[in-house]
A = this chain, B = another copy of it.
Amino acid sequence: MSMDRLMERIAATKNPSVVGLDPKLDYIPEHIRQDAFQTFGYTLEGAAAAFLRFNQEIIDAVCDIVPAVKPQAAYYEALGWQGVKTLSETIAYAKQKKMFVITDGKRNDIGSTMEAYADAHLGVTRVGDELIPAFNSDALTVNGYLGTDGIKPLLDLCNRYDKGIFVLAKTSNPSSGELQDKLIDGEPVYLHMGRMCEAWGEEAYGKYGYSGVGAVVGATYPEQLTELRKKLPHTFFLVPGYGAQGGGAQGVAGGFDEKGMGAIVNSSRAVLCAWKKTGGDGRDFAQAARKEALRMRDDITSCIPEITLG
């Protein structure tokens, strides 16, 4: 269990960013939507087919320059099981293209229920004597509100299959402070959660010093990001909120360590919808996405130390 595989992909691409695959029909160019609806009608199946083709072309366009993708489960669930099938196919496609896949599901539960989530998203499900991977992602975002009982089942499985998790610490939204900034024994809840991440990760550090238990810390809170980087030396950060939510490259710099590691920054809408700013009809969406991904890479790397492994 570690972030080694993710860090090796970041080093290989010299790019500490991840493309969020958060498709909405509004984001998808007309020609793809029309093809799908002509085949399947205006149905969940039709929308799911449009999502899949859109994702595949985005992945094709960025897989050599971006280390990871992060599909957001909610957008697929909005299309029912048909959408969840597309989630599954998207994960498989990205992995085939050697990308590291983080399923953003913010899952949480306890005991054997959390084991089922762990099996579903990172492990395998036993059916008779068969061990079958269901979604088979590389990492999963989780919510730690339930404490160790909600995390332990993931750790066992992450160790077995070399997978990782990212636990919500300080989220990027305006109201995150309603609970996360409140003080417990003089320290904010997000730091308390961060310290739990360090404790959960303690049993297994990877080759490059980070454990498999990462944390989600929003780009919109640069001070807290900087503070947490100093206080949580073995916890890798997934950083949402860059771009569309208002966080800039200067703001995320504090999340990185002296080797340009320790964080990966997400951008979803700015990449997926880059085509809307080219003045074209959307047939250039994949190339527009690539261009925005490169711009983002250069923006972030200009503010952090040169990326090197261990």
Interface residues of chain A, those whose CB is within 8 Å of chain B, are 22, 24-25, 37, 42-44, 46-47, 72, 74-75, 77-85, 87-88, 106-114, 116-117, 119-121, 125-130, 132, 134-135, 143-150, 168, 171-180, 182-185, 189, 192-193, 196
Complex contact B128–A146 (CB within 8 A): no
Most B C-beta atoms less than 10 A away, residue of A47, A74, A120, A147: A74
Contacts of A113 in B (CB 8 A): 22, 72, 74-75
Known: A77-B120, A81-B88, A189-B189. Contact between A147 and B128, CB under 8 A? Answer: no
Most B C-beta atoms less than 10 A away, residue of A82, A84, A125: A84
Complex contact A81–B85 (CB within 8 A): yes
Known: A43-B132, A125-B47, A127-B43. Contact between A120 and B78, CB under 8 A? Answer: yes
Given contacts A78-B134, A147-B173, 6 further A-B contacts (CB under 8 A): A24-B112, A74-B113, A80-B120, A106-B143, A147-B175, A149-B176
The 5 listed contacts between A and B (C-beta, < 8 Å) are A83-B134, A147-B177, A179-B196, A182-B185, A189-B189
In the complex formed, the residue of B with least CB distance to A46 is B127
Minimum CB–CB distance from A106 to chain B (whole Å) comes to 5
Minimum CB–CB distance from A203 to chain B (whole Å) comes to 16
Contacting A107 at CB < 8 Å: which of B24, B74, B134, B182? B74
Question: In the complex, A42 Cα to B129 Cα: how many Å?
Answer: 8
Complex contact A180–B147 (CB within 8 A): yes
Minimum CB–CB distance from A214 to chain B (whole Å) comes to 16
Contacts of A87 in B (CB 8 A): 81
Question: In the complex, A44 Cα to B87 Cα: how many Å?
Answer: 16
Question: In the complex, A159 Cα to B62 Cα: how many Å?
Answer: 41
Complex contact B116–A77 (CB within 8 A): yes
Contacts of A126 in B (CB 8 A): 25
Question: In the complex, A145 Cα to B168 Cα: how many Å?
Answer: 9
In the complex formed, the residue of B with least CB distance to A143 is B143
The 6 closest A-B pairs by CB, nearest first: A147-B175, A147-B178, A42-B128, A80-B134, A81-B85, A74-B116
